[in-house]
């Protein structure tokens, strides 16, 4: 039998059976005059712990090899070290798909790879944000109280767990000693019946907070994946200040505040109402009036689509770096939506077991990508 990734043609030429491998990989577009330049950081989900920093030419300028595969993301910290969200080897086994998005093994590593800090939390999942004060903001799973779990609606009840347990979310902030200094439980502030799960999801996790960030005014932005929405929580009181629902975003990721107070989001768009063909967007919306003020979609809308993960980052020159996570495509667009840089991750591998039961084949995915100016990596 031939290799699962390769077959041989009659001429003996190897033909990859990975569709993306038969297309252009690595650097595929560069407009030097209009790109913001700098270096792009990403952690391949199937790279086993490799974190790449590529230059504007698409060449690897630096690389880390971390002790564990990524739970999700990697960032450069203000001190030049790497902040890494790793996948914990003995994470809690909460439900069958848990291994797809848990993390729980956080590291800080020097450019030379020396581990200088570690924090473990086996209940962590999805995003984690390294705050300016040195603390870590992230989400953990916790079972809903029985009376709250009974009010979860929507979704596919055929996939309910036999134990009847529904996981929910707590957002917490820990300091460098690993001490919890702030904690917020979503079920204390939202009735599950008011946020039904979309039909395509099971009901084992409500509402699955897949992205967190902090604003200048002390709000915590939270992305609600299975119910579609972004909320802003006032840290001092725990009050929900605003809620952008499915009329603004759909199954989104990575909400981030812009300088003018608007919110930039990667809008995945799975089963977006009113659209027979799924497509993704990067959108910017004003939370005061809940209206979109900027967006990017591909001119052929379905050509840009990531059903899971994804990110958007506003760059110093006004351009936006977008990560089409499911297909390892990182690209930069101008405010007018013109592509000026594009890089497709050229390395493919399978997810380790048991993840490969849910996501089959070889992949070049990454959760998020980050662009840094040359001045932010003086050690390079």
Given a cut of 50, whether residue 364 has pLDDT beyond it is yes
Predicted local confidence at residue 13, as pLDDT: 65
Residue among 117, 209, 224 at smallest CA distance from 172? 209
More confident of the two residues 12 and 154: 154
Structure confidence at residue 273 as a pLDDT band (50, 70, 90)? confident
Structure confidence at residue 5 as a pLDDT band (50, 70, 90)? very low
Task: Write down all domains in the chain, each with its CATH number in brackets.
Answer: 19-265+290-376 (2.130.10)
For the segment 196-201, the average pLDDT, to the nearest whole number, is: 90
Residue 133: which residues within 8 A CB-CB, separation 6 or more? none
Token pair belonging to 101: 């998005």
Residue among 311, 310, 265, 317 at smallest CA distance from 287? 265
Residue 53: which residues within 8 A CB-CB, separation 6 or more? 39, 40, 41, 60, 61, 62, 63, 76, 372, 377, 380
For the segment 264-278, the average pLDDT, to the nearest whole number, is: 90
Residue among 175, 188, 166, 66 at smallest CA distance from 115? 66
In the predicted model, what is the mean pLDDT of the chain? 93
> Distance between CA atoms of 284 and 374, rounded to whole angstroms?
26
- pLDDT one-digit tens code per residue, 275-315: 888 999 999 999 999 999 999 999 999 999 999 999 999 99
Tell me the pairing of strands 167-174 and 180-185: antiparallel
Residue among 301, 267, 268 at smallest CA distance from 285? 267
Token pair belonging to 113: 């790879």
> How far out from the chain centre does Cα 52 lie?
16
Structure confidence at residue 6 as a pLDDT band (50, 70, 90)? very low
Given a cut of 50, whether residue 378 has pLDDT beyond it is yes
For the segment 114-140, the average pLDDT, to the nearest whole number, is: 97
Predicted local confidence at residue 66, as pLDDT: 98
Given a cut of 90, whether residue 121 has pLDDT beyond it is yes
Residue among 257, 259, 315, 338 at smallest CA distance from 39? 315
């Amino acid at each position: 039998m031939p290799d699962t990734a390769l077959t041989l043609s009659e001429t003996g030429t190897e033909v990859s059976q990975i569709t993306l491998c038969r297309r252009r990989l690595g650097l595929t577009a560069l407009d030097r005059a209009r790109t913001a330049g700098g270096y792009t950081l990403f952690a391949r989900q199937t790279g086993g712990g490799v974190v790449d920093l590529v230059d504007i030419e698409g060449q690897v300028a630096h690389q880390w090899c971390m002790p564990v595969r990524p739970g999700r993301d990697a960032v450069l910290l203000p001190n030049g070290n790497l902040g890494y969200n790793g996948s914990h080897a003995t994470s809690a086994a909460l439900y069958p798909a848990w291994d797809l998005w848990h993390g729980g093994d956080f590291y800080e590593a020097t450019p030379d790879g020396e581990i200088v800090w570690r924090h473990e939390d086996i209940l962590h999942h999805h995003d984690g944000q390294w705050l300016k004060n040195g603390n870590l903001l992230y989400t953990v799973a916790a079972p809903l109280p029985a009376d709250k779990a009974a009010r979860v609606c929507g979704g596919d009840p055929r996939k309910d767990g036999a134990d009847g347990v529904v996981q929910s979310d707590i957002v917490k902030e820990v300091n460098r000693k690993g001490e919890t200094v702030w904690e917020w439980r979503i079920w204390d502030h939202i009735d599950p019946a008011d946020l039904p799960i979309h039909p395509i999801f099971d009901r084992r996790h409500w509402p699955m907070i897949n992205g967190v960030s902090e604003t200048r005014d002390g709000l915590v932005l939270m992305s609600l994946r299975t119910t579609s929405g972004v909320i802003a929580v006032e840290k001092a009181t725990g009050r929900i200040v605003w809620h952008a629902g499915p009329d603004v975003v759909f199954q989104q990721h990575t909400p981030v505040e812009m300088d003018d107070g608007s919110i930039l989001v990667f809008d995945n768009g799975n089963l977006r109402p009113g659209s027979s063909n799924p497509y993704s967007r990067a959108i910017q919306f004003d939370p005061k009036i809940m209206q979109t003020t900027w967006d990017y979609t591909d001119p052929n809308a379905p050509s840009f689509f990531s059903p899971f993960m994804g990110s958007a980052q506003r760059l110093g020159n006004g351009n936006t770096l977008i990560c089409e996570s499911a297909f390892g495509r990182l690209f930069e667009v101008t405010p007018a939506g013109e592509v000026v840089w594009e890089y497709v991750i050229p390395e493919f591998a399978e997810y380790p077991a048991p993840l490969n039961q849910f996501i089959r084949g070889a992949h070049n995915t990454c959760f998020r990508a980050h662009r840094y100016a040359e001045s932010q990596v003086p050690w390079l």
